[in-house]
């Protein structure tokens, strides 16, 4: 009992300051917690920016680039390979009409991809590009690409889709082959909703 | 909004309580309503031990399945559930709560405070934990089954291709995260505000320092984990595409965010172990810790470095060369402060006066075996070679050396060191030494051959393996069963010790230092109501 | 005492039972320059760690032995020494730099994917690999070929495990030696990782993105690896097998594959005209189902809900046929169900759909023919531009042509067929090889390795290596158990059968030495 009283006396003296101090630190820490939670989400756009700069994941530009190469570098050639995949569940035939072309950096080229909706239903497709090596992605400039838009196809409809691009002459010297891969996804459901 | 209720002047409330009853409430209510740091510490420690046994039981099934080639006991899908839940339980249920338990019991006593700064929040942070694990474990009994995508839950295996357990998993992880964050906040506030007069930061025991730094790490990265599981949840159920290439996302980004949490998490599980061992070794070498200041700096630099090495878990994901080099160099750099710690411990023992009580035995085993885990970590840091080691049993061996013979052994060392203070009784010396030697031998039989398996090319997380891996797996399984059984000896030691035994003095170890030894054994329910003077 | 004996006994059993000699303890040196560099790097770090370990643990054990209290050691009081601390910070940094230099060098080489000679596209899916040769029309799936009985020990304990248990596939990836081969790696569903230890190549396959890796192997041979990233249920059951051939053999292999592709395309078109009976469909359907679908949907059709739904009574299997065909052919987005259009023939898809609609009490009575599948999906591998009618016509032409060829072959030998004639082994082998390539290789493959499980390997097969009469009978009359094995008595002459049987019994290392004469075939056919 004696001891209990002691406790009370002691703490009533110190309490206001202590509790206030605690509250101050606590609110700062809670702020950090929320800040870090937000930071977790901020990592998403940050990652995209980071990828843009470094070509980390081989994502290419998502909207049209305007042609800005100063000149065509005729002394150098770059092989550009095209590959395609269709994702699960999309009944389309989708392939490049040319497998590989050779370009000079700075030169504009036009290639076509063929797509056909093999089913009788109307389907909206979306091609997602990826470039390897990832570093080259930043130098692969699409002026016009079917992948900028969704591609709706009626049942049994077929289409030839164009891609106009140039390879930036700034492309690092040690890259002589780059591969552009398209994966085609069915986004009908997402478009509807 | 919550902060108000949580900071409500705790000790005042507590005191009026005491005035009415004079004694603490008894029975289940004592434990449910308790705001006493010692009670909560005890709860945390018991909970983590139960979780250790649960996660261990899952590991036993895994090892039984891997005892010989072929599928004998479980289906591959259930095997994946076992490995996933084993990992989650051991990380979030066994190791982390055990350290929080130590923090609760020891921090106030070490800094001369009457209790934790926020006792009510302390109660909450413990009592939501059992619910988190109840949710996680209950998924075993649901139609979907338990999470089967590995404790690292890489998208899209855990989103589009999950077995339907994602929601439970995310919910459970959120609760664990909230619990850890509350625990960490409490530790920081306590250390900042409740130190006895005269105890400056550089006079705090190293144990306190490591918990202080760990708590900051927790506050920094647990919210990121919460963020990433939230994205996982919306990707799975609400049609977002953070990690889905079809919608413009990137599955590799998941790994970046996850490991941004995950690597500091690794240090969250080892820094407190450094603190415990740095307390015990000087006590039984009867010599001051060689470099207190350098230990503090080493711990801080490990913590800081841990934020810029995360992608060494991802060398095979197709990073550009510059990224691989950067993360390789940063990772190798961590070897320097870690080395400083090991050298410090050895220098502390050098020309000391060593005796080998059980806490010391576990600490010595910790130093050697953790260093072995550190060596394999250094090997893994080398990007070109990591291409061969990555996702093989070599990695499994590495992180078990660091987490079992590292963290878990330090927890045992700490438990044996402070058990007399907690219970007031000495534990059976011979039984505890049995526990040590059985664990030491079996744990090496369990994890050392895994290095060979990994080098020979056995991938991790497989329920069945090619024939050339059969012999070692047999040994590993036998080691596993033995190690599992050995842990029951610990249970026996603790129960015997609680029930009675030779009465412990206030300071049962002649070389021990620190405020906790100035109070009686067992430590009274309330200690340091009057703060001690530290000079 | 007793217990000790027991433990020695157990130890003895383990030591004797294990083939210690075969056991690999260390990292493989591999067969490429890179893999050897990686190995050297691994050894370097290991030696450095060992030396540091000896020094540190040595100091520790020294004090544990000589500075112990029980020996009366008095503790020294020294602590904090800036000199020592700078030293033990600086030395590790120097060591680390020494390690980082060779590591950086190797890494830069590893990441140089440029200037390759051959490009191969690797696509992972749950739980198989798909290989596509970039500049050839060659593509195929590579699936685990270890029979289910060998690993499902709950069902059958006695099944002996083969030499390459869980590390064998139906079709190897074939690459040339001494050429820089570049791999473009991606995935159709979850993340996988393509790993061959002997090449020191491990690269994740990320859905929607491509990754690169390369290798240049100097030694022909067969190299095995596994998927190295948890990818779901059968992660442990998707091995990688790479066969490295010399340049000449590789060129030969490419030609062979092209020839086979042409044949397969014809067979596919021919199947459009063929109509199968319900029984035939159900039998072929069952084999196909067990081989390709049962891993997830289970042999019982009950699936493993909710990830892998039951087919028994399912709305898909009982509902609209076209919907059902489309799901099997194209897969279903957002689920684990992948498309089998590229992996199975139209006939197999027709059969498996028929099977699913009629097995386990799903008695819809629906029958699906290859042509239905083709109509419903627009043809998997056929040319898209042409209409079905013209395709069918073209096929009919080709079938006629083919029949004419066969008839010509038959006629060529028929008039001269003399059942009593004794041929030399060389003559039989030469003729047998021709007949085999024309009539058998589409299924059993020119290599004799077959396409298990539907088309078993003849290499080392019990039938081919076993009783001659049974073997002749099988070729003459087909298999009662496996409908895929047709009867050849109508298509081939007895001399041809004799030749092909002789060939099969002596080719691909099946060196039984047996020589089968036409008379023997005649005797069997007379029974």
CATH number of domain containing C141: 2.60.40.420
CB contact under 8 Å between B352 and C67, yes or no, is yes
Is B161 close to C189, i.e. CB distance below 8 A?
Answer: yes
For residue C456, count CB atoms less than 10 angstroms from its CB and return exposed for 0-12, middle for 13-18, buried for 19 or more.
buried
Judgement on whether residues C216 and C304 belong to the same structural domain of the protein: no
Q: Please name the residues between 305 and 334 in chain B that touch chain A, using a CB distance below 8 Å.
A: 318-320, 322-323
**Beta carbons of B15 and A22 less than 8 Å apart:** no
3-state secondary structure of C422: coil
CB contacts under 8 A, B 87-146 vs C, are 143-144
Query: For the ranges A139-148, C206-215, C269-278, which has the lowest average pLDDT?
Result: C269-278
Strand partners, C169: C144
Q: Summarize the confidence of residues B85-92 as an average pLDDT.
A: 96
Which CA distances in Å does B434 have to B4, B428, B452, B485, B486?
A: 50, 10, 28, 12, 8
Contacts of B250 in chain A (CB under 8 A): 47, 51, 57, 59
Written as six digits, the tokens of B103 are 């923090």
Per residue in A122-151, pLDDT tens? 888 888 888 888 888 888 888 888 888 888
Subunits in contact with chain A (3 or more CB pairs closer than 8 Å): B, C
Q: Using the beta-carbon criterion (under 8 Å), do C337 and A83 form an inter-chain contact?
A: no
Ramachandran category for residue C35: left, alpha or beta (phi over 0 → left; psi -120 to 50 → alpha): alpha
**Chosen domain end from C357, C380, C403:** C380
Alpha carbon B171 to its chain's center:
21
Q: How many residues does chain A have?
A: 193
Minimal C-alpha gap between C117 and chain B (Å): 21
Q: Which two tokens stand for residue A43?
A: 């990592």
Residue C398: which domain range? 386-414
β-strands C128-133, C118-125 pairing: antiparallel
* pLDDT at site C455: 67
Per-chain mean pLDDT for chain C: 81
CB-nearest to B287 from C75, C152, C203 is C75
pLDDT at B225 (0 to 100): 95
Q: What does the pLDDT read at residue C9? A: 45
By residue count, chain C amounts to: 527
Last-in-domain residue among C380, C399, C432 = C380
Which residues, at least 6 apart from B46, have a Cβ–Cβ distance to it below 8 Å?
Answer: none
Give me the pLDDT at residue C404, please.
54
Q: Which residues contact A175 (CB under 8 A, 6 or more apart)?
A: A78, A133, A135, A136, C114
Q: pLDDT band at residue B289, thresholds of 50, 70 and 90?
A: very high
Q: Is the Cβ pair C25, B455 closer than 8 Å?
A: yes
CB B430 within 8 A of CB B492: no
Q: Is there a domain that residue C339 lies in?
A: yes
Distance of CA A39 to the CA centre of its chain: 19
- C430 to chain B, minimum CA–CA distance in Å? 39
Say whether C59 and B355 touch across the interface (CB within 8 A): no
Q: Neighbouring chains of B at 3+ CB pairs within 8 Å?
A: A, C
* φ, ψ at C486 (rounded to 5°): -80, 165
Co-location of C135 and C251 in the same domain: yes
Residue B465 is encoded by which pair of tokens?
């393996």
pLDDT digits (tens, 9 = 90+) for A8-45: 444 444 445 778 888 889 999 999 999 999 998 998 88
What is residue B392's predicted lDDT score, i.e. its pLDDT?
95
Task: Give me the residue spans of the domains in chain A.
Answer: 1-54, 59-190
Residue B19 pLDDT > 70: no
Catalytic residue among B174, B203, B256, B460: B460
**B24-34 tens-digit pLDDT:** 677 888 888 89
**Nearest partner of B149 among B133, B125, B177, B168, judged by Cα:** B168
CA atoms of B393 and B371, how far apart (whole Å): 18
Contact B382 C166 (CB under 8 A): no
Please tell me the predicted confidence (pLDDT) of residue C121. Answer: 93
Contacts of A7 (CB under 8 A, 6+ apart): B11, B15, B18, B114, B526, B529
Alpha-carbon gap: A50 to the closest alpha carbon of chain C (Å): 17
Which segment, B73-77, B108-112, C420-424, C461-465, is predicted with the most confidence on average?
Answer: B108-112
CA B385 to chain centre: 28
For the whole model, what pTM was predicted? 0.80
Verify that C178 and C286 share a domain, yes or no: no
**Is the Cβ pair B7, A37 closer than 8 Å?**
no
B221 touches chain A (CB under 8 A): yes
- List the single best residue of B24, B170, B181 to mutate versus A (max A Cβ within 10 A): B181
The pair of three-digit structure tokens given for residue B470, joined into one six-digit string: 């059969």
Least Cα separation, residue C124 to chain A (angstroms): 12
Tokens of B345: 């411990």
Which among C113, C135, C188 has the least Cβ separation from residue A87?
C188
- Beta strand C221-227 with C239-245: parallel, antiparallel or unpaired? antiparallel
CA B491 to chain centre: 19
Q: Which of A4, A12, A18 sits opposite B193 (nearest CB)?
A: A18
pLDDT (tens digit per residue) in C512-527: 888 888 888 888 877 7
Separation of alpha carbons B519 and B506, rounded Å: 6
- The tokens of B386 are what? 């990591």
pLDDT band of residue B533 (cuts 50, 70, 90) is confident
- Check whether C265 has a pLDDT greater than 50: yes
In this complex, which of B246, B353, B471 lies closest to C23 when CB atoms are compared?
B471
**Beta-strand relationship, C139-142 and C128-133:** antiparallel
Domain count, chain C: 5
Angle at B170 between CA B166 and CA B176, to 5 degrees: 145
Higher pLDDT among residues C150 and B20, named by residue: C150
Give the per-residue pLDDT at C400. Answer: 52
pLDDT value at residue C12: 46
Q: Is residue B102 within 8 Å of B88, Cβ to Cβ?
A: no
Q: Tell me what pLDDT residue A63 has.
A: 67
Residues C220-231 as b or e (16 or more Cβ within 10 Å = b): beebbbbbbbbb
Q: In this predicted structure, what is the pLDDT of residue B317?
A: 92
The answer as to whether C228 is a domain residue is yes
pLDDT, residue C13, reads 43
- C74 falls in which pLDDT band (50, 70, 90)? confident
Cα(B13)–Cα(B6) distance, integer angstroms: 12
- DSSP bridge pairs for C176: C245
pLDDT in tens, C335-364: 778 888 878 888 888 888 888 888 888 888
Going by C-alpha positions, the residue among C255, C249, C194 that lies closest to residue C220 is C249
CA distance B399 to B393: 10
C24 DSSP assignment: -
Most confident of A91-100, B9-18, B447-456, C320-329: B447-456
Same domain, C106 and C217: no
- Residues from chain A that touch B222, judged by Cβ atoms under 8 A, are 33, 36
In this predicted structure, the answer to whether residue A71 has a pLDDT above a threshold of 80 is no
- Do residue C481 and residue C443 come from a single domain? yes
Touching chains, C (3+ CB pairs < 8 A): A, B
CA angle C263, C269, C270 (to 5 degrees): 85
Give catalytic status of residue B267 as yes or no.
Answer: yes
Chain B CB within 8 Å of residue C78 CB: yes
Q: A89: Cβ–Cβ under 8 A, 6 or more apart, which residues? A: A186, C327, C330, C331, C332, C333, C334, C335, C337, C339
Cα-based distances in Å from C127 to C190, C192, C234, C302: 10, 9, 6, 20
Residues 6+ apart with CB under 8 A from B303: B213, B214, B216, B217, B264, B267, B271
Q: Of these residues, B83, B125, B139, B179, which one is catalytic?
A: B179
Cα–Cα dist B171/B153, whole Å = 14
pLDDT given at position C100 = 94
Task: From C301, C286, C337, select the one nearest C453 (Cα to Cα).
Answer: C286
pLDDT, residue C206, reads 92
Tell whether A37 lies on the interface with B, counting CB pairs under 8 A: yes
Whether residues C29 and C99 fall in one domain:
yes
- Of residues B51 and B318, the one with the higher pLDDT is B51
Considering the domain architecture, whether residues C309 and C329 belong to the same structural domain is answered as yes
For residue B341, pLDDT beyond 90: yes
| Digit-coded pLDDT (tens) for A87-123 | 877 888 888 988 889 998 888 888 888 988 887 888 8
Tally the C-alpha atoms within 13 A of residue C71's C-alpha that lie toward its C-beta: 13
Chain B residues touching residue A183 (CB < 8 angstroms): 245-246
Q: Any catalytic annotation for residue B286? A: no
- Rounded to a whole number of angstroms, the distance from the CA of A73 to the nearest CA of chain B is 25
- Looking at C235, C263, C291, the residue that finishes a domain is C263
Contact B432, B416 (CB under 8 A): yes
| Percent of chain C residues past pLDDT 70, beyond the cut | 83
Q: Please confirm whether the linkage preceding B156 is cis (ω < 30° from 0).
A: yes
C207 contacts chain B (CB < 8 A):
yes
3-state secondary structure of C374: helix
The pLDDT value recorded for residue C484 is: 60
Instruction: Give the pLDDT mean for B255-263.
Output: 94
CATH number for the domain whose boundaries are A59-190:
2.60.370.10
| Cis amide bond preceding C452, omega within 30 | no
Which residues share a beta bridge with A126? A185
Give the CATH number, domain containing residue C462.
Answer: 1.10.760.10
Residue C403 lies in a domain: yes
Indicate whether C36 belongs to any domain.
yes
Instruction: Give the chain C residue whose CA is nearest to the CA of A156.
Output: C378
| pLDDT exceeds cutoff 70 at C80 | yes
Please tell me chain B's helix, strand, coil percentages from 3-state DSSP, rounded to the nearest 5.
75, 0, 25
Specify whether C130 is located in the same domain as C235.
Answer: yes
| pLDDT: which is higher, A57 or A177 | A177
* A16 Cα to chain B: minimum distance (Å): 9
- B265 classed as catalytic: yes
**Residue pLDDT, tens place only, B238-254:** 988 899 888 888 899 99
């Amino acid at each position: 009992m004696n001891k209990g009283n002691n406790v009370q006396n002691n703490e009533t003296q110190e309490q206001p300051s202590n509790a206030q101090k605690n509250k101050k630190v606590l609110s700062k820490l809670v702020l950090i917690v929320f800040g870090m939670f937000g930071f977790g989400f901020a990592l998403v756009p940050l990652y995209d920016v980071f990828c843009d700069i470094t070509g980390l994941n081989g994502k290419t530009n998502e909207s049209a680039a305007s042609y800005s190469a100063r000149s065509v570098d005729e002394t150098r050639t770059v092989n550009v390979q095209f590959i395609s995949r269709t994702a699960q569940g999309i009944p389309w035939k989708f392939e490049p009409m040319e497998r590989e072309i050779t370009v000079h950096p700075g030169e504009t080229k036009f290639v076509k991809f063929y797509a056909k909706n093999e089913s009788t239903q109307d389907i909206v497709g979306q091609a997602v590009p990826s470039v390897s090596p990832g570093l080259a992605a930043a130098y692969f400039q699409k002026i016009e690409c079917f992948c900028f838009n969704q591609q709706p196809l009626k049942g049994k409809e077929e289409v030839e889709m164009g891609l106009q691009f140039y390879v930036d002459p700034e492309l690092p010297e040690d890259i002589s082959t780059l591969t552009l891969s398209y994966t085609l996804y069915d986004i009908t459901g997402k478009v509807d909703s | 909004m919550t902060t108000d209720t949580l900071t409500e002047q705790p000790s005042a409330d507590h005191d009026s309580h005491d005035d009415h009853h004079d004694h603490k409430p008894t029975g289940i209510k004592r434990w449910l309503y308790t705001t006493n740091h010692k009670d909560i510490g005890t709860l945390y420690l018991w909970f983590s031990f139960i979780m250790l046994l649960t996660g261990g039981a899952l590991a036993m099934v895994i090892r039984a399945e891997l005892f010989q080639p072929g599928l004998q006991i479980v289906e591959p899908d259930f095997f994946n559930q076992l490995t996933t839940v084993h990992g989650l339980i051991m990380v979030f249920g066994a190791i982390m709560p055990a350290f929080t338990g130590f923090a609760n019991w020891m921090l106030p006593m070490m800094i001369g405070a009457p209790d934790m700064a926020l006792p009510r929040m302390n109660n909450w942070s413990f009592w939501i934990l059992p619910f988190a694990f109840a949710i996680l474990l209950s998924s075993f009994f649901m139609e979907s089954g338990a999470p089967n995508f590995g404790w690292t839950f890489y998208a899209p295996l855990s989103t589009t291709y999950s077995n339907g357990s994602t929601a439970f998993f995310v919910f459970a992880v959120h609760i664990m995260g909230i619990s850890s964050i509350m625990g960490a906040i409490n530790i920081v506030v306590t250390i900042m505000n409740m130190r006895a007069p005269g105890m400056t930061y550089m006079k705090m025991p190293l144990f306190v320092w490591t918990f202080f730094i760990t708590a900051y790490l927790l506050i920094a990265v647990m919210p990121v984990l919460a963020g990433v599981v939230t994205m996982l949840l919306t990707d799975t159920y609400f049609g977002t595409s953070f990690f889905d290439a079809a919608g413009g996302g990137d599955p590799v980004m998941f790994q970046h965010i996850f490991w941004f949490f995950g690597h500091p998490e690794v240090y969250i599980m080892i820094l407190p172990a450094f603190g415990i061992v740095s307390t015990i070794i000087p006590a039984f070498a009867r010599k001051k810790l060689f470099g207190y200041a350098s230990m503090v700096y080493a711990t801080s630099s490990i913590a800081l470095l841990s934020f810029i090495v995360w992608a060494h878990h991802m060398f095979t994901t197709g990073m550009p060369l510059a990224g691989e080099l950067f993360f390789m160099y940063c990772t190798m750099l961590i070897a320097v402060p870690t080395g400083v710690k090991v050298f410090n411990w050895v220098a502390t023992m050098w020309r000391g006066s060593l005796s080998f009580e059980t806490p010391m035995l576990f600490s010595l085993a910790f130093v050697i075996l953790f260093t072995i885990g550190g060596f394999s970590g250094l090997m893994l840091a080398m990007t070109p070679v990591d291409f061969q080691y990555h996702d093989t049993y070599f990695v499994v061996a590495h992180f078990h050396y660091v987490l079992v013979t590292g963290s878990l052994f330090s927890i045992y060392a700490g438990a044996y060191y402070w058990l007399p203070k907690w219970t007031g009784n000495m534990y059976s010396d011979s039984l505890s030494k049995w526990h040590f030697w059985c664990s030491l031998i079996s744990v090496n039989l369990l994890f050392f051959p895994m290095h060979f398996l990994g080098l020979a090319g056995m991938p991790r997380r497989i329920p069945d393996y090619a024939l050339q891996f059969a012999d070692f797996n047999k040994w590993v399984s036998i080691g596993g069963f033995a190690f599992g059984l050995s842990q029951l000896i610990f249970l026996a030691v603790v129960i015997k010790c609680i029930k009675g035994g030779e009465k412990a003095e206030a300071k049962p170890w002649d070389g021990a230092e620190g405020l906790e030894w100035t109070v009686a054994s067992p430590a009274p329910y309330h200690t340091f109501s009057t703060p001690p003077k530290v000079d | 005492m007793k217990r000790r004996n027991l433990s020695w006994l157990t130890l003895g059993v383990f030591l004797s039972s294990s083939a210690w000699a075969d056991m690999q303890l260390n990292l493989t040196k591999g067969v490429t320059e890179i893999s050897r560099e990686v190995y050297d790097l691994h050894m370097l770090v290991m030696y450095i760690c060992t030396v540091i370990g000896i020094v540190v643990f040595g100091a520790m054990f020294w004090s544990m032995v000589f500075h112990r209290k029980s020996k009366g050691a008095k503790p020294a009081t020294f602590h904090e020494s800036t000199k020592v601390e700078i030293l033990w910070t600086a030395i590790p940094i120097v060591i680390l730099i020494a390690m980082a230099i060779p590591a950086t060098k190797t890494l830069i080489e590893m990441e140089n994917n440029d200037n390759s000679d051959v490009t191969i596209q690797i696509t992972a899916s749950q739980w198989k690999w798909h290989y596509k040769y970039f500049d050839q029309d060659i593509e195929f799936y590579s699936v685990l070929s270890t029979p289910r009985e060998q690993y499902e020990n709950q069902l059958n304990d006695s099944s002996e495990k083969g030499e390459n248990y869980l590390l064998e596939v139906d079709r190897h990836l074939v690459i040339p030696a001494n050429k820089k081969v570049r791999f473009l790696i991606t995935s159709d569903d979850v993340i996988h990782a393509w790993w061959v230890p002997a090449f020191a190549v491990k690269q994740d396959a990320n859905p929607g993105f491509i990754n690169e890796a390369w290798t240049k192997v100097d030694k022909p041979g067969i190299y095995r690896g596994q998927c190295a990233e948890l990818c779901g249920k059968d992660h442990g059951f998707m091995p990688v097998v790479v066969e490295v051939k010399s340049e000449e053999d590789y060129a030969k292999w490419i030609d062979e594959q092209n020839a086979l592709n042409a044949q397969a395309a014809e067979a596919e078109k021919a199947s459009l005209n063929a109509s199968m009976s319900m029984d035939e469909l159900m039998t072929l359907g069952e084999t196909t189902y067990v081989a390709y679908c049962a891993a997830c949907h289970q042999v019982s059709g009950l699936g493993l809900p909710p990830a892998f739904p039951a087919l028994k009574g399912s709305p898909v299997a009982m509902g609209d046929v076209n919907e059902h065909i489309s799901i099997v052919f194209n897969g279903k987005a957002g689920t684990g169900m992948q498309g089998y259009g590229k992996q199975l023939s139209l006939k197999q898809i027709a059969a498996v759909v028929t099977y699913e609609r009629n097995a386990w009490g799903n008695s819809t009575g629906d029958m699906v023919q290859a042509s239905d599948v083709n109509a419903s999906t627009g043809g998997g591998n056929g040319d898209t531009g042409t209409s079905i009618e013209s395709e069918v016509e073209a096929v009919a032409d080709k079938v006629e042509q083919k029949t004419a060829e066969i008839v010509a072959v038959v006629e060529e030998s028929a008039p001269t067929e003399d059942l009593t004639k004794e041929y030399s082994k060389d003559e039989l082998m030469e003729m047998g090889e021709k007949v085999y390539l024309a009539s058998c290789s589409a299924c059993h493959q020119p290599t004799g390795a077959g396409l298990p499980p539907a088309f078993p390997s003849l290499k080392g097969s019990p039938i081919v290596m076993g009783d001659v009469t049974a073997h002749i009978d099988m070729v003459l009359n087909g298999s009662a158990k496996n409908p895929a094995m047709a009867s050849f008595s109508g298509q081939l002459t007895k001399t041809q059968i004799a030749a092909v049987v002789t060939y099969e019994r002596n080719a691909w290392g099946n060196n039984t030495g047996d020589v089968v004469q036409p008379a023997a075939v005649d005797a069997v056919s007379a029974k």
